[in-house]
Amino acid sequence: MVTVKRVNNDSKKKRNKLILLLKIAIVAWTVVSTVLNFIITPEHFEAHESDNHDLLKHEVPANPIHSQGEPMKVAYAVSFIKCGDFQTHAAGLVDASLVLRHSIHKISSRNPESGSKYDYKMYAIVHKQAEECSGQIRNMGFEVVVVDQPLDRSEIKGDYLRKHIQREWCCGESEFIKLFAYTLPEEIIVHVDIDFAFYKPMDHLFDAILYDKDSEEGKKARSMLELERPGERLPDKIGAFLTKDWPQVAPGKFPAAYQAGFLVARRDPSVMEEALNVVREGNYTDGWGYGTGWHGSGHGGYVGAMAMQGLIAYYYDFVRKDAVELNQCRYNHMGMDVLYRTHPNFNPKRLKDKVGKCRNGLEYCEDCHVTDFDKIYSVHYTMCRKPWQCISETSESGRNSKGQKGRAIPVPMMNKDHCYELIHHWHDLRSDFEKKLFALTGDTTILEGSKYEHMKDIFHGHCKEEGNEGYAVITAKNETLYRIHELYEVKQ
Ligand SMILES: *[C@@H]1O[C@H](CO)[C@@H](O)[C@H](O)[C@H]1NC(C)=O
Ligand SMILES: *[C@@H]1O[C@H](CO)[C@@H](O)[C@H](O)[C@H]1NC(C)=O
């Protein structure tokens, strides 16, 4: 059984009550307005209409024409599988969440400067084994949804998958809790990893999901999409937007994985069920490359193939073909090399004729090493390292001068200056958050977190020295922390 255990358990009751109220209100409204239409001037009519806003705003409009008053809310969700995932580095939860939330707010209708017409609501999908951290997660401004694992390993029919899925990256079958995102109440969901920040509104993606393809709005939104393969035919009804993991493919060996850090989708609980059924069937062949993996599709053997990265790629390529692949330099941008120039999975000395060619197989592709920051909608901090790791060192192996793995920016796989720019923008968001919180509260403790000199032009004073230990976390008095939500209230 699949159970979604809401922490706020009476929200469903409230909803039912609201729906009833709403029905009554709609009937009353229809009668009253028909009468009023004949006897009252338009000014009166308008005044009356606004009286109903409080009720109407609780209904998700069938289509996002915002004449009903309130902008439509998009659900932004992250998933937490284990508490330990971030306890090693507290900033990985607290500072990452605060900055992520700040970035979402900035691209939403609650910040009029953004020009966006979509509001937001933040969710954390929390595995029940991580429930003990849910208080902390709630304090970061997320509505917490505690869930059980949607599937038990023993349900998987295929022997190979059943025996091996547990050890798949990132976290075996636990990763499937991400699928609960499809069941959140909002019409549109955005699911991302916590090491993520948004920089530009995505209204055209939301419009393209919500509006009919033949409507004016729908046509306009579709014409604005930045696709990985420009000119590609779009599904009549778009179910999801995603990006693929082209930086990891090998020439002609296997199809690109789904990049599991980013998903924009239409709400649809049946996607979750259908995808889980693919797992239950467990038609997965061991090996690497075409002919292996899910139904022999080639989605096998690579990192994450048995879990979300492979499952979702297979699912949208072969089962429900309604996902649109977005330009990986613009969305879920990682700054990784999308050309064949160096590793991973490519050796320029062995395959000389491929050097400089696009990993996605096209004649031309954008080079994500040098994408203008203005064009980037969202950044996923992966191989440029986490902004809260205070890493500016580079090396070919990705080890730092102390020999620690994963503690330097790997070059030439990555472009050092471009990584610096991405990291700088995250710290810029943090500085903006600190500035606004200081303006609200006058708490001088906040300034303590940004007084450091190390590589100040990149880290904005947030790093005492190079490396994880050098990071100065966001500091504030307790009473200040309780006021953070005031930064995000809707301004009237
Ligand atoms: C697994 O999937 C492949 C491709 O769809 C199919 O040909 C094969 O018969 C399936 N195997 C089983 C055991 O169902
Ligand atoms: C702030 O709150 C934390 C957690 O509730 C508590 O442990 C700490 O003692 C508080 N600090 C101050 C200065 O009140």
- Per-residue pLDDT 10s for the chain (492 aa) are 333 334 444 454 555 554 444 454 444 444 334 333 333 333 333 333 333 333 333 344 444 545 467 899 999 999 999 887 654 566 778 999 999 999 999 999 999 999 999 999 999 999 999 999 898 889 888 999 999 999 999 999 999 999 999 999 889 999 999 999 999 999 999 999 999 999 999 999 999 999 999 999 999 999 999 999 999 999 999 999 999 999 999 988 999 999 999 999 999 999 999 999 999 999 999 999 999 999 999 999 999 999 999 999 999 999 999 999 999 999 999 999 999 999 898 999 899 999 999 999 999 999 999 999 999 999 999 999 999 999 999 999 999 999 999 999 999 999 999 999 999 999 999 999 999 999 999 999 999 999 999 999 999 999 999 999 999 999 999 999 999 999 998 765
Nearest CA to ligand 1 atom 6: 295
Classify residue 326 by its DSSP letter: B
**Ligand positioned closest to the Cα atom of 314:** 1
Specify the DSSP class assigned to residue 259. Answer: -
The closest alpha carbon to 124, from 109, 107, 139, 103, belongs to: 139
List, in order, residues 6 or more apart from 273 with CB less than 8 Å away: 2
Ligand 1 atom with the shortest distance to the CA of 285: 1
* Cα torsion angle, 313, 317, 323, 328, sign: positive
What's the rounded Cα separation, in Å, for the pair 274 and 136?
33
The total number of residues shown for the chain amounts to: 492
Mutate which of 295, 315, 317, 318 for ligand 1 pocket (most atoms within 8 A of beta carbon): 295
∠ CA(305), CA(308), CA(312), 5° rounding? 95
Q: What is the helix (H) or strand (E) element at residue 308, kind and residue range?
A: helix 308-314
**Ramachandran area for residue 37 (φ above 0: left; ψ -120 to 50: alpha; else beta):** alpha
Ligand approaching nearest to the C-alpha of 318? 1
Compute CA distances 401 → 228, 398, 458, whole Å. 37, 10, 20
Ligand found nearest the CA of 298: 1
Question: How much distance in Å is there from the Cα of 149 to the middle of ligand 1?
Answer: 26
Q: Which ligand is nearest to the CA of 139?
A: 2
Residue 37: its pLDDT value, please? Answer: 36
User: Tokens 């049946």 — which residue?
Assistant: 270
Return the amino acid letter for 334: M
State the alpha helices, DSSP H only, in 107-253. Answer: 134-139, 159-164, 203-210, 216-223
What pLDDT score was predicted for residue 282? 98
Sign of the Cα torsion 57, 62, 67, 73 reads positive
**pLDDT (0 to 100) of residue 23:** 53
Q: What is the pTM of this model?
A: 0.85
Which residues share a beta bridge with 57? none
Contact status, residue 102 vs residue 429, Cβ threshold 8 Å = yes
Residue nearest to atom 8 of ligand 1 (CA): 295
Three-class SS of residue 316?
helix
Q: Is the CB of 153 under 6 A from ligand 1?
A: no
Calpha distance 90→165 (Å, rounded): 29
User: What distances in angstroms separate CA 197 from CA 24, 75, 83, 114, 157, one per listed residue?
Assistant: 42, 15, 21, 15, 39
* Cβ of residue 283 lying under 6 Å from some atom of ligand 1: yes
Tell me whether the omega of the peptide bond preceding residue 344 falls within 30 degrees of 0, making it cis.
yes
**Distance from the Cα of residue 365 to its chain's centroid:** 24
CA of 285 to the centre of ligand 1 (A): 10
Give buried/exposed letters for 284-304 (b at 16+ CB in 10 A, else e): bbeeeeeebbbeebbbbbbeb
CB 410 within 8 A of CB 364: no
Note the pLDDT of residue 85: 62
Least Cα distance to 199 among 94, 119, 129, 116 occurs for 116
Amino acid at 405: K
> For residue 478, how far is its CA from the centre of ligand 2 (angstroms)?
6
Whole-angstrom Cα distance, residue 155 to residue 432? Answer: 48
Q: Which atom of ligand 1 is nearest to the CA of 283?
A: 1
- 295 C-alpha to ligand 1 centroid (Å): 6
Q: Which atom of ligand 1 is nearest to the CA of 297?
A: 4
- Ligand 2: centre distance to CA 336 (Å): 41
* Ligand 1 atom 11 nearest Cα: 283
Task: State the pLDDT at residue 40.
Answer: 33
Q: How far apart are CA 400 and CA 361, in angstroms?
A: 34
Cα–Cα dist 112/323, whole Å: 30
- Other C-beta atoms closer than 10 Å to the C-beta of 142 total 23
- CB-count exposure of residue 478 (10 Å: 0-12, 13-18, 19+): exposed
The sign one gets for the Cα dihedral 448, 449, 450, 456 is positive
CATH topology of domain 71-382: Spore Coat Polysaccharide Biosynthesis Protein SpsA; Chain A (3.90.550)
CA 252-253-257 angle, to 5 degrees, is 105
What is the Cα–Cα distance from 134 to 306, expressed in whole angstroms? 28
Q: Name the residue with the closest Cα to ligand 1, atom 13.
A: 283
Specify the ligand 1 atom closest to the Cα of 295. 2
C-alpha–C-alpha distance, residues 466 and 32, integer Å: 68
Is the Cβ atom of 158 under 6 angstroms away from ligand 1? no
- State both tokens at 47: 């005044």
The finding on whether 296 has its CB within 6 A of some atom of ligand 1 is yes
Please state, in angstroms and rounded to a whole number, the distance separating the CA atoms of residues 271 and 316: 10
Radius of gyration of the chain (CA): 24
Angle between helices 11-39 and 42-51 (to 10 degrees): 170
At 123, list the tokens. 């969710």
* Ligand whose nearest atom lies closest to the CA of 480: 2
What per-residue confidence (pLDDT) applies to 17?
A: 56
For the CA of 135, the nearest ligand? 2
| CB of 319 shorter than 6 A to ligand 1 | no
For ligand 1, mutation pick of 283, 286, 294, 315 (most atoms within 8 Å of CB): 283
User: Is the distance from CB of 86 to CB of 193 less than 8 angstroms?
Assistant: no
Nearest to 490 by CA among 70, 110, 76, 50: 110
480 within ligand 1 shell (Cβ under 6 A) = no
Write out the two tokens for 397.
């192996």
Ligand 1 binding pocket includes 251 (Cβ within 6 Å): no
